[in-house]
Amino acid sequence: MVVLHSLTPAMDGARRAALLPGRGYTAQAPLLSWSGLLLAEEGWDVYAVEWTHAAAEDPAVFLHGAWAEVTAVLDGVPDLVVAKSLGTFAAPLAIAAGIPGVWLTPLVRHDVVADALGAASEDHLVVAGTADTAWRRDLIAGTRAAVTEIADADHGLLIPGDWRASYAAHQAVFRRISAHVAALPPI
């Protein structure tokens, strides 16, 4: 169901981060790739997940099984999850395990994702575009997670028809992720 790729050489005592992709948005795509590089430069062991099929069944069921595989390969849970779209179905699992997360373009129109992110603590960061049809901030109204909205951005956090604005938006996202991760308590 999943293949786990180590993006960094394993370092003794380093915190571990797992990158969970979207259905058609791999860990090689910009939001996850740059997040992985950012984390690696901060001394994290970074693991990118690759789905071996596109979650044809219920996405929550798919992610539950994928999460079990990831934690088995890692011999435990990661210390951070960075998830995009489909990967955000792992929010209930990560939050229940006390694992901080960065949730990029979460699929909050699904109750399981909205409920988890609505109950998330300040150890979580939610990033979404205001033009993303999968996004509705009101569905996570009670959250204590930090929420960053990118004006006019779509599901890829891109500004349609404006590469310069898209580039600037992505830079802002990575600055926000960097600040969020730097503020996490040590393990």
Q: What is the pLDDT of residues 140-159, one digit of tens each?
A: 999 999 999 999 999 999 99
Q: Is residue 171 part of a domain?
A: yes
CATH number of the domain where residue 13 is located: 3.40.50.1820
What pLDDT does 52 receive?
Answer: 80
What pLDDT does 14 receive?
Answer: 86
Burial class (CB in 10 A: 0-12, 13-18, 19+), 185: exposed
Q: Is residue 75 part of a domain?
A: yes
Please count the structural domains in the chain. Answer: 1
pLDDT above 80: residue 56 = no
Q: Is residue 157 part of a domain?
A: yes
User: The domain containing residue 130 runs over which residues?
Assistant: 2-182
Q: Is residue 10 part of a domain?
A: yes
What pLDDT does 55 receive?
Answer: 63
Q: Is residue 187 part of a domain?
A: no
> Which of 62-71, 96-105, 166-175 comes out lowest in average pLDDT?
62-71
Q: Is residue 129 part of a domain?
A: yes
Output the DSSP codes for 50-95.
EESS---S-HHHHHHHHHHHHHHHTTS--SEEEEEGGGGGGHHHHH
pTM for the structure as a whole:
0.95
